[in-house]
Chains A and B, each alone.
Chain A
Amino acid sequence: MLIALRQISKVYHMEEVDVPALQGVSTNIAAGEFVAIMGHSGSGKSTLLNLLGCLDRPDSGTYLLDGCEVDRLGSDALAAIRNRKIGFVFQNFNLLPRTTALENVELPLYYGPKISSAERHDRARTLLIRLGLKDRLGHHPGQLSGGQQQRVAIARALVNQPPLILADEPTGNLDSRSADDIMALFQELNREGITIVMVTHEPDIARFAKRVIQMKDGKIV
């Protein structure tokens, strides 16, 4: 089991009002799955994704990622897990402006084990070429289309060869053709054994996943 969640609860404190975001969520995601988490805004799906991504900690419950009890780890250890086990893909791409595609993809390698700059370039270039961006290595995000930017972001997520990719509305800013392309790419990566967990509110996009988790009011339904 790659991901095992047991009775995860999370409450946000907002101006004297407690907003429960997750109320005792338990679920398992096996290695090699392609899961879409669906639900309305406020259903807790983003909170769940943040917890899965080790960006946040649950108030109670346990979270096992790849056999490791991550809710007990310190912030440096969590950073290392984010670096090596998880690749993030965002709705707004989050590429560094005025920085080339190649440099954007290299970014996670600076925070991992030390490697030579030649190897860093090599790995980033190989991935970008594989994702069809051979002619765009030196382009800045501003010079790329939305679909191309998301490909660069996916290359960045893959550069440390993580077992898990977490995607938050990856097609939210894309036209339908580019969206289909990105989903096809996800399916291809999934076939190669990478586990993908994706948050979306579009049923058309959720269709591409193998399994759909529906959320409502902080619970899985």
Chain B
Amino acid sequence: MTGIITLKIAMRALIRNKARSLLTALGIIIGIAAVIAVVAVGQGASVTMQKQINSMGNNLLIIFPGSQKAGGFHGGAGTQQTLTAEDGEAILKECPLVRAMTPLVRSGAQCIYRENDWATSVQGVDVSYQEVRGWDVASGSFFTDSDVRSASRVCVIGKTVAEQLFQGEDPVNQTIRIKNMPFRVMGVMTSKGSAAWGQDQDDTIIAPYTTVRRVLQNSAFNNVSQLMLSLISMDILPQAKEEISQILRQRHRLNASTDNDFTLTDMTEVTQMITQVSSLMTMLLTVIASISLVVGGIGIMNIMLVAVSERTREIGLRLAIGARRRDILMQFLAEAVALSGAGGLIGIALGISTANIIARINHWPVMVSPGAVLIALTFSAGVGIFFGFYPAWRAARLNPIESLRRE
């Protein structure tokens, strides 16, 4: 007998006992469906998180000024005002691993356009901010190098600010008042959505850092709140950190016994946390899936043992008309595998639709991975072979004479 015919005959035998087959396969169906659904939702969430982290910028590395230390007393990060735009330019020039750099100074501000007002944050940056954050203007244009050099009162606004202040009007080339000083709006940024921690990245105004420092902060100092760097690749992150530290230590004239007066921060920690959470989820799911598959498998074994004893006469007859013991073994093994395999298929279908329903209701993204589907199918078939073997072996061992005599 060929494999296909064996499987076909097995399917027919299962269809003859529809209700029983369905109930037996239910354990497998539920187990597989649960795993597929939860994996799909989990992967969807993880991909979304990853996307949000990537929206922070291209291979982003941020340098904050270090904490102030005086007489054993530690201030918070950023309390020391040592970092300057010149530090950033030096890094860009001396470290080939850095692709782009922008200083960043922050200021909160009340903005007014006609009768509308909106409190938001103003980020003072350089032109290369676009490249560092991978963020383009949607309409109008970004400010230029000469705007930065001359500290012009120009700005680019985020989508949320555009909506709040202009309410449908075209903001480009309009003048808004920030802290009561007129700024010309040169462009509107594309929407970036919310960051990994939920902050609206579009609720911001971007202006030349020189302008923000001089006009909004009214500061005569050169220091910046952070330097944002874009590395050529995330693979060289440790090396880049090392080189940048060296450059900064040299520029800040720190001797070997002094701590860094700056902090380098990248997104790997956040990424690691997400990876950890998702791998924990995967482990938990694997345990749940294994338990449900084992329970389902025992159900299959049980019903196959019943089938073998119910069909003892059939087995005797098949042996009498020329079936080899191997044929009988394969027949019952095929039934067990067909049962668990069909259960696996139904489970996959059920799992995918459940995931989609969850996605529809909660507006979560779901991602059904082909890998998970393949593994689910392989495992369900494997369960059939493992738990179907003993009943099939018992069937193949039956004595044909006694089997034929059985009423």
Contact = CB atoms under 8 A, between A and B. Distances in A.
Interface of A: 50, 53, 55-56, 75-76, 79-80, 82-84, 88, 90, 94, 96, 98, 107-108, 110-112, 114, 156, 160
19 contacts: A55-B319, A55-B320, A56-B401, A75-B324, A79-B323, A79-B325, A82-B319, A82-B320, A82-B321, A83-B321, A84-B322, A90-B404, A98-B16, A108-B322, A110-B5, A111-B318, A111-B321, A111-B322, A111-B324
A160 B321 CA distance: 10
Interface in B228-254: none
Given A75-B325, A96-B314, A53 B320 contact: yes
B334 to A, nearest CB: 13
B405 to A, nearest CB: 9
B313 interface: yes
B151 interface: no
B1 interface: yes
Given A55-B401, A90-B404, A107-B318, A76 B324 contact: yes
Nearest to A95: B317
A107 B321 contact: yes
B218 interface: no
B117 interface: no
Given A79-B324, A82-B322, A84-B322, A111 B1 contact: yes
A103 to B, nearest CB: 9
A55 B321 CA distance: 10
Interface in B303-355: 313-314, 316-327
B199 interface: no
Contacts of A55: 319-320, 400-401
A107 B322 CA distance: 10
A83 B16 contact: no
B2 interface: yes
B175 to A, nearest CB: 84
A156 B400 contact: no
A84 to B, nearest CB: 7
Chain B contact residues, majority secondary structure: helix
B320 A88 contact: yes
Interface of B: 1-2, 5, 9, 16, 313-314, 316-327, 400-401, 404
Given A110-B5, A111-B327, 9 more contacts: A76-B324, A83-B321, A84-B322, A94-B316, A96-B317, A111-B318, A111-B323, A112-B322, A156-B321
Nearest to B17: A98
Contacts of A160: 322
B322 A80 contact: yes
Residue from A90, A98, A110 whose CB has the most chain B CB atoms within 10 Å: A110
A76 B325 CA distance: 8
Residue from B9, B313, B321, B326 whose CB has the most chain A CB atoms within 10 Å: B321
A89 B325 CA distance: 21
A75 B325 CA distance: 8
A110 B320 CA distance: 13
A55 B317 CA distance: 11
A108 B324 contact: no
A156 B317 CA distance: 11
Of all A-B residue pairs in the complex, the 5 with the closest CB atoms, nearest first, are A83-B322, A111-B322, A108-B321, A79-B324, A94-B317
A5 to B, nearest CB: 18
A75 B326 CA distance: 10
B314 A110 contact: no
A160 B1 CA distance: 15
Residue from B9, B16, B326, B401 whose CB has the most chain A CB atoms within 10 Å: B401
Contacts of B400: 55
Contact of B319 (A79, A96, A98, A114): A79
A79 B316 CA distance: 12
A111 B327 CA distance: 8
A110 B313 CA distance: 18
B315 to A, nearest CB: 11
Contacts of B322: 79-80, 82-84, 108, 111-112, 160
Nearest to B321: A108
A105 B164 CA distance: 82
B5 to A, nearest CB: 7
Nearest to B316: A94
